[in-house]
Every structure is written in C-alpha cells, then in structure tokens.
Structure 1
Amino acid sequence: MIGMQYKVILPKDYDMGIIRNRVQENGMKTDGFNGLDFKAYLITEAGKNGQLYNSYTPFYIWNNHEGMNTFLFDGYYDNILDSFGWQHIQIGVPLILDLDPNFPKSQYVVEYAGRIAETASLADHYLLEAVNVEGSEECLGNVVVYNPDKWGYSHFRFYEEKPDVEVSEHRTVYEILHISR
C-alpha cells in the first residue's frame, strides 16, 4: 500500500466554489479506480474552521504501485498539472489503516503531522498505538502514514461530524467533498 497527497495552496481570496464544483463534476471519475483503496477530496477554507489559508489537498491510499503509476503517468494526473501546475507529491507508507464500515459517511478529517524522533528502537513506537486515542469512538477511520526518508508522519482521523479540534501548525481540519472507493 502507498499513501499519496499533494497540497495545492490557493490565494486567500480564491473562490473555493470552483473547487467544490470541480469535485462535484469530476469526483466520481476516481470511484472504482484500479488499485485505489480510497481517495478523499479534501479542502480548507480561509476563515472557516480556524483555517488560515485555502487549499485543495486530495489524500489517496493505493493498494499497489500499479494503480498509482497509472494515475500519474497515463494522463489522469494531467488535470492537476493543467489546473494547478507542478505539485510536490508526498508519499507515505501506511502503518495503520483502520476504516469503519461507515467510513464513506466521513465529512471531516483531522491531520496530525509530525516528525519521528531518532530512537534506539521503533519496536514500541507511539505511532503503533494511534488507533487507540481519546475520541476514537466517534472516529470512522484512522490512517497513519510515515515516510522513513524524511522520518515524518501524518495521522488522519475521519469523522462524520466536525470534531472540536483547534487548528495549529501540526494539526489541520479538512472538509471532505467526496470519497472515492
């Protein structure tokens, strides 16, 4: 499995209705995409939910590299290149993928991003316990991806209702416009 995300940061005065319409008209095109476990079409809006900026930030979990390669190199990703230009794509290895049967009802996701500190052993690392955190009873999905090249991680928690979480440098609350499975 492979996690993939690109973050398109948009101007503060950008009309986010453009992104909403884009997803409404095209989001279903990745429904059933070969090799895709899921794609969450994520946005932030400046001034909403404590956000400081506008962004379009899709998050993918691929079951295999073939599906991701097809998406990137067979013309599907060209829509992003045409609309937003060259984007840095973050890649992560899924460590935890725990999705509730009601996962498709998710309307919000909180991303907790951080660094994995140098340690003598990763055997009992706290990331392995990420699904057992406070508030997990309302959570419809827990996904943790890490990148050992940069020793960074992102922990995504999916919710049907907006959680009472403050935005910070390492915590982002996204609205989900569509989930492809």
Structure 2
Amino acid sequence: MHAMQYEITLPAGYDMEIIRERVATRGHLLDGFPGLGLKAYLIRERGAASPVNQYAPLYLWSAPEGMNTFLLGPGFQGVVDDFGRPAVQHWAGLHYREGAASQALPRTAVRRREQITDSARPAAAVEAALEESRRLAAAPGAVATALAFDPRHWELLHFTLWEHEPPEVPGDRYEVLHLSSPERDRLDRGDQR
C-alpha cells in the first residue's frame, strides 16, 4: 500500500460549492482506476472547525504503477491546469484495516501527521502507532483506517474514515464528498512491516 495526498488551500472567501460541484461531476471518473485502492475526496471549510478552505484528496494505492499512471496522466493534469501543481506527499504503507462499520459510506475523515522525534526509537514509535490504528479500526463508526510512514521526514500518517462524526480523536477533520474504491479489496490488510 502507498498513501498519497496533496492539499490545495483556497482563499478565505472561496466558494466551496465549486469544489463540491467538481467532485459531484468528476469524482466518478476514478471509480474504476487500476491500482487505486481508494480515494477519499476531502474538503475542509474555513470556520467549520478549520482555519482554511481546502481540497485535500487522500489516496491509498494498491499498486505503485497506478499511482504513477495517475500522477503522469490526464486526471492529475486536470488538477494542475485548474489549481497549479501542488506538492504531492507520499508515504509507504504500514497498516490497513477495515473498520467496524466497513460497509458504511464514510462522511468524515480524520488525518493526523505525527513527527517521530530524534530522541524516539522509530520501531517503538511505529508500534505505538500500530496499536492506535488497531484501536481506531475497532471503534464504532470506523469505516477503515490506515497508517503510513515517510522515512525522509520521519513522519507517520494516521488516517481514518468514519461513518459519522468521530469520537474525540486528534487530527484534522475533513468532510468526505465521495469515495472511489475500485481496488479496496486489494489493499493489503494488517501489518505491512
């Protein structure tokens, strides 16, 4: 599994209905994309528990070839044409698990980026993060959870999709506008160390 996200921060007065319409009319285009485990079309709106307006889709790839085909193809070029070329963040997968509400349509996502400090043992930090990921997957309303790792910046990515507003868990909250999941069943389950 490979996790990927780009964040497009929009002006404070930006009409987020433009993004909602974009996803409503184009989101289905990736519903059958080869190599895509899932793509959560995520937004945050300024003033609604967020300091910014943001379009920030998050992808879990079942195959790196799919990710490369997307980034070098017409789908991502459409994003570049409309918003400029965003920095694409990428993490290697450590854990994926279907949640207690795996059959539900997610409405909310929580993403948390956690720095592994210089004084921490990376293996111990990952083990603690794996425990948290397993616990979240078992929580009522959890649709799916993923944990990934960027060794260049020594960062962990925690990501959970929720059927409803989640319990108090740390991280940035997003509204899920659409979920494309053509190869969700091909995402490796469990520990991927």
What's the counterpart of residue 130 of structure 2?
A: 128
TM-superposed CA distance for 1:114, in Å, is 1.1
CA contact (8 A) 1:19 1:56 kept: yes
CA contact (8 A) 2:8 2:56 kept: yes
Give 5+ residue unaligned stretches, structure 1: none
Pick closer, same or farther for the CA change 1:61–1:121 going to 2, 3 Å.
closer
Q: How does 1:45-84 map to 2 (within 5 A)?
A: 45-48=45-48, 50-84=49-83
More helix by share: 2
TM-superposed CA distance for 1:27, in Å, is 0.2
- Deviations 1:5-62, CA, capped at 9 Å, x for gaps: 00000111100000000000000000010000000000000111x1111000000011
Normalising by structure 2, what TM-score?
A: 0.85
What's the counterpart of residue 32 of structure 1?
A: 32
- Deviations 1:133-169, CA, capped at 9 Å, x for gaps: 3672321111111101110112112111112548xxx
Structure 1 Cα separation of the partners of residues 122 and 166 of structure 2: 33
Structure 2 Cα separation of the partners of residues 76 and 110 of structure 1: 25
Amino acid paired to 1:80: V
TM-superposed CA distance for 1:120, in Å, is 4.2
Structure 2 Cα separation of the partners of residues 132 and 91 of structure 1: 22
Normalising by structure 1, what TM-score?
A: 0.90
2:112 pairs with 1:105: no
Count of matched residue positions in the alignment of Structure 1 and Structure 2:
177
Structure 1 Cα separation of the partners of residues 103 and 5 of structure 2: 19
Give 5+ residue unaligned stretches, structure 2: 182-193
Pick closer, same or farther for the CA change 1:2–1:151 going to 2, 3 Å.
same
Q: How does 1:8-19 map to 2 (within 5 A)?
A: 8-19=8-19
Structure 1 Cα separation of the partners of residues 152 and 167 of structure 2: 33
Structure 1 Cα separation of the partners of residues 141 and 128 of structure 2: 21
Amino acid paired to 1:63: S
Matched-pair identity in %: 34
- Structure 1's consecutive aligned runs of 4 or more residues displaced over 4 angstroms after TM superposition are none
